[in-house]
Amino acid sequence: MAIFPFLIFLTAIAAFFDLSSLSATVVALIFESVPASIAAPIAGEVKNVLLVPRGDLLTIGVALALWFASSGVEAMRVGLNRAYGMIEDRNFILLRLQSIGFVLLGTLTFLTIAFLVVLAPVAWKGLVHLVPAIEAFAWSLTLLRFGLTLVIAGAGLLASHLWLPAGRRRITEILPGVGLTLAAWIAGAYGFSLYLADFANYASTYAGLAGVMTAIIFLYLMALILLYGATLNAALVERRRRRAAAAASPEEPLTSPWP
């Protein structure tokens, strides 16, 4: 539900800096790893969002878009806190400002990477003109696009696990869950597309809403995978804590504060 407010705010930023052409590239990056059968139901509405001119950053509409986009970050925070077994006791205003910062950073990151993606073919043509022998490696551009998608997702996951939930975690403690999430996202997207192609028939159940329901179920699956990765990290941390406690005092029974 926060995708559209985020895109509205992103296009407003792009229009303000006269970078509107990069908005379509950003959308391509966001949906690059999503199967076409899943992305198609919302692709049309995304284009409608991008076609609306939004040149004024200081409007109530854009401010509300920023607020609702940050609400998506807050929803992720709630899920991660529950997965890690943490109780949130930080100031609400500071947390909301942090979520807004995440949206702003995400906007800047997507626009920067979109600029590099647009620049890459131009640079590649220049290199081919200078060194024609490298034209056989044109497939590397496609590999670069998918690599950028994974880098964006991985960096976003690392930042989310480190700073969104309460408490402190080291990078080494969150890497297992991040790696599992990325691998499961890829496998889940591929498996869900096969399921839609061979088994599912949402049209018989949801009629005209079949496309929308397909996208919602897919996003719900991806959210579950995200929370499962955080739960894995919490379980591994708890396991190490129990082992350390057992080594320190093997005769005392262990109790865990983590649910």
Question: pLDDT tens digits for 186-195?
Answer: 898 888 878 8
Predicted pLDDT of residue 98:
95
Sign of CA dihedral 88, 80, 97, 171: positive
Give the count of beta carbons closer than 10 Å to the beta carbon of residue 190: 12
Question: Torsion angle, CA of 178/77/29/55, rounded to 10 degrees?
Answer: -160
Give the count of beta carbons closer than 10 Å to the beta carbon of residue 168: 8
Residue 33, C-beta contacts closer than 8 angstroms, at least 6 positions apart: 146, 149, 150, 153, 185, 186, 189
Give the count of beta carbons closer than 10 Å to the beta carbon of residue 90: 10
- H helix count then E strand count, the chain: 9, 0
User: Does the pLDDT at position 120 exceed 80?
Assistant: no
Contact 113, 29 (CB under 8 A): yes
Predicted pLDDT of residue 179:
94
Mean pLDDT on 88-116:
88
Q: What average pLDDT does the structure give for the chain? A: 79
More confident residue, 219 or 167: 167
User: Does the pLDDT at position 56 exceed 60?
Assistant: no
Mean pLDDT on 51-69:
71
* First-residue to last-residue Cα distance in the chain: 29
Residue 47, C-beta contacts closer than 8 angstroms, at least 6 positions apart: 27
User: Does the pLDDT at position 199 exceed 90?
Assistant: no
Mean pLDDT on 79-104:
94
Mean pLDDT on 84-102:
94
More confident residue, 185 or 30: 185
**Alpha-carbon span 135 to 89, nearest angstrom:** 56
Contact 256, 238 (CB under 8 A): yes
Q: State the pLDDT confidence band at 13, using cuts at 50, 70 and 90.
A: confident
Q: Among residues of the chain, what percentage have pLDDT more than 90?
A: 33
pTM to 2 decimal places = 0.77
Give, as one character, the DSSP assignment of residue 208.
G
